[in-house]
Structure 1
Amino acid sequence: MTVYELFSGVSLIYHDIFSIGGAASPPVTGDFLEVSFCCGGRSEYRGSQHCYYLSADEYMMRRCSPDDTGARYPTGQYSGVTLLADMNGDMKELSQLLDGAERVPALLAERLRGALYLNGTPDIAVHIFKELWDLREKASAGLMRIKAVELLMALGDIDMNTSQAREHSITDEQMKVADKVCTFACANLNEHYTIAQLAEMMRVSQTKLKYCFRMVYGCSLYAYLRRQKMYAAAELLRTTDRNILDIAVDCGYDNGSKFAKAFRDVMGRSPRDYRKYSGVRMEHFTAERTAAPV
């Protein structure tokens, strides 16, 4: 995570998370307006009784209070941009770039009224977020500030009734079903359980199990487990000199060619090439940080 303090009380945060299994951001410690855009991976936000999920090219807005949890990244992979405004801060510096901009964070926070706004439809805010993401390597203070104010003004014109949060949410109980089956399946990664067997263990229908899992993790259970195996294999390729076929066997493959194809499908290159260029991660999750904070 890289944080740029653009104005007094207004920060721009770049996230680039890659881990085997889930991950989470620190808990919220104040009264903030948070606007987050997902570039890749998946993030989860907790409401009072629901969980909301953000996928690539989607953004959300919420007003955070000191008792709110931070974002959770159920797949362990997430890259994105967050604009964070301290509601107790002085926003006057925003007006130096555009008159009236200092009022927008408070206006948005008031219009949210405890709800979470989520948009998965391409609009001007998505375009600006992508420009901000492209700026992460340039670390241009002036451009970041201009784009941040431009983003706030674009968000200020949004109709809150267009929120798609409901379509991107499930109940806490449904989330726990998905997490429980994921924990069990990952603990038995080299065993094969059918959806019917897992549903019976969890005491839910097969339809419910599949729906809950896809809502939380953004893919089918089998696709998720396949990725986890390849991530574990990638870790072994980076950190050991073990024979590739031995690693394939550890991942449940007795055929080197099938393992190589599965690895390439997930990681974008063959196991041999991945080891050769160790430290190179999946392209859409890479975000090198080469400049000092603004």
Structure 2
Amino acid sequence: MLTYEKQALSGTIEVLLRSELPDEFEGTKLYGSLEEDELRQDCKIFRLSNETGHGRITVYQVFSGIELYYNDMHMGYCNQNQATVKNMIEINHCLIGRFECSFGENSCCYMAEGDLSISSMMKKKSNSCFPLNHYHGISIVINLDELLPEIRQIMELLNIDLHYIQKYICEGNRCCIMRANPSIEHIFSELYHVREKRKPGYMKVKMLELLLFLSDLNTAEEVLQTDYFNQNQVALIKAVASYITEDLTAHHTIEQLSQKFAISTTALKKCFRGVYGTSVYSYLRTYRLQVAKKLLLETESSVTEIASKIGYENPNKFTSAFKETYGSSPTEFRKSVRLDRSGSVWSGEEI
């Protein structure tokens, strides 16, 4: 046993010292068309764009066969026709925003902030959307056929049951979502804030911790349940969202929307919250304020004019709502951003 542990330790050191990046990353097929932006010693940075916006992907190879992607998305969707791959696992963690995965006609599900998903890449995605038009999180791609024997030895020493994870996810062709909880928060939170020079080594440690956590998937059955929506329902709800944001000066009641789109008020409210994570009213309020923020930055319109453009008849109510959301009045916000821009480029929230 001692000899076995020494061999595993030797293999561990060798694996940890390897730092060469592969010519191609397995997980890039998740995103569609990518353009290489920057090559660093430990990672590659890619850009992607379509008619809905743009995104930035930073990719690290954690181990041979395991890749980690930092996602910074300001777009409505990416890669609508993902190819299937055998013996590969995709893991996603949502930090900010909302992530939609659809698998056929009756299996559209959503990740909210703090949620974790794990799925087989044999389960073909027909769509990967970001309903709020922004999404920040981590994706991990594990190619089980490319894991080195040394890595498997390390996992065995740590009681990581890779065979069980493979059987449960790949052979079961599952997509599971774990709702936000302290265990998931503990594993992922520091990955977003670790210093760059510590990141490569730290990711290795956290990856092993994550796989050890996933070795107990069978004991967490209660958190693997999620709501799935019919694609037709989702399309209808997206049409509702498009309709209410088309003219921000118009005001619609739930009953009016229910009649227009031929859906019951109960189903409308439930499905809208399922897709966008909030009520119709809250969604529209947030959208209006984001438009106001953009107008404050890009136009010379007065606060009263902007309030009118986004559907606030009373400028004071608009000012109160803006301050409650962003921490400063519209006038203060405009002044502070212009001061910042004089010394640096502002990077703000996108609609």
Q: Is the 8 A contact 1:46 1:69 kept in 2?
A: yes
1:89 maps to 146
The Cα shift of 1:142 comes to: 0.7
1:277 maps to 337
The Cα shift of 1:196 comes to: 0.8
For 1:233-292, what per-residue CA distance to the aligned partner results, in whole angstroms no more than 9, with x for missing partners? 11222223333332222112243321122222333433233322363646xx9xxxxxxx
Larger radius of gyration: 2
Q: Which moved more, 1:221-230 or 1:253-262?
A: 253-262
Q: How much is the aligned-residue C-alpha RMSD, in angstroms?
A: 2.8
Note if 1:33 corresponds to 2:89: yes
Output the CA distance in 2 between the equivalents of 1:138 and 1:200: 57
- Normalised by the length of structure 2, the TM-score is 0.70
Output the CA distance in 2 between the equivalents of 1:203 and 1:222: 19
1:289 maps to none
Given the superposition, is the C-alpha separation of residues 40 and 93 from structure 1 closer, same or farther in structure 2, using an over 3 Å criterion? farther
Q: Which amino acid aligns with 2:268?
A: L
Q: Which amino acid aligns with 1:227?
A: T
2:69 maps to 13
Output the CA distance in 1 between the equivalents of 2:278 and 2:301: 31
The Cα shift of 1:57 comes to: 1.8
Gaps of 5+ in 1: 286-294
- Normalised by the length of structure 1, the TM-score is 0.83
Q: Is the 8 A contact 1:8 1:93 kept in 2?
A: no
Note if 1:169 corresponds to 2:222: no
Given the superposition, is the C-alpha separation of residues 268 and 209 from structure 1 closer, same or farther in structure 2, using an over 3 Å criterion? same
Gaps of 5+ in 2: 1-56, 339-345
3-state SS of paired residue (1:253): coil
Q: Which moved more, 1:85-94 or 1:114-123?
A: 85-94
Given the superposition, is the C-alpha separation of residues 90 and 101 from structure 1 closer, same or farther in structure 2, using an over 3 Å criterion? farther
Output the CA distance in 2 between the equivalents of 1:138 and 1:226: 41
Q: Which amino acid aligns with 1:230?
A: L
Q: Is the 8 A contact 2:61 2:67 kept in 1?
A: yes
Note if 1:42 corresponds to 2:98: yes
> Of residues 54, 68, 75 in structure 1, which corresponds to 2:111?
54
1:3 maps to 59
1:135 maps to 194
Given the superposition, is the C-alpha separation of residues 136 and 93 from structure 1 closer, same or farther in structure 2, using an over 3 Å criterion? farther
Output the CA distance in 1 between the equivalents of 2:144 and 2:125: 15
1:24 maps to 77
The aligned runs of 1:145-224 (5 Å cut-off) are: 145-159=204-218, 162=221, 164=223, 166-224=225-283
Q: Which moved more, 1:154-163 or 1:210-219?
A: 154-163
Output the CA distance in 1 between the equivalents of 2:77 and 2:317: 33
The aligned runs of 1:244-255 (5 Å cut-off) are: 244-255=303-314
3-state SS of paired residue (1:208): helix
The Cα shift of 1:106 comes to: 5.9
Given the superposition, is the C-alpha separation of residues 67 and 118 from structure 1 closer, same or farther in structure 2, using an over 3 Å criterion? closer
Given the superposition, is the C-alpha separation of residues 174 and 68 from structure 1 closer, same or farther in structure 2, using an over 3 Å criterion? same
Given the superposition, is the C-alpha separation of residues 126 and 162 from structure 1 closer, same or farther in structure 2, using an over 3 Å criterion? farther
Q: Which amino acid aligns with 1:58?
A: D
Q: Is the 8 A contact 2:123 2:174 kept in 1?
A: no
Q: Which moved more, 1:56-65 or 1:2-11?
A: 2-11
3-state SS of paired residue (1:232): helix
Q: Which amino acid aligns with 1:14?
A: Y
> Of residues 210, 227, 243 in structure 1, which corresponds to 2:286?
227
1:72 maps to 129
The Cα shift of 1:183 comes to: 1.6
Q: Which amino acid aligns with 1:133?
A: Y
For 1:176-206, what per-residue CA distance to the aligned partner results, in whole angstroms no more than 9, with x for missing partners? 2211211211223221111111111111111
Q: Which moved more, 1:238-247 or 1:110-119?
A: 238-247
The Cα shift of 1:93 comes to: 5.8
Taking only the aligned residue pairs, the percentage that are identical comes to 28
Q: Which amino acid aligns with 1:277?
A: V
Q: Is the 8 A contact 2:160 2:212 kept in 1?
A: no
Q: Is the 8 A contact 1:44 1:51 kept in 2?
A: yes
Q: Is the 8 A contact 2:123 2:173 kept in 1?
A: no
After the TM superposition, which parts of structure 1 deviate over 6 Å for at least 4 consecutive aligned residues? none
Q: Which moved more, 1:132-141 or 1:153-162?
A: 132-141
Q: Which amino acid aligns with 1:145?
A: K
Q: How many residue pairs get matched?
A: 280
Output the CA distance in 2 between the equivalents of 1:138 and 1:119: 30
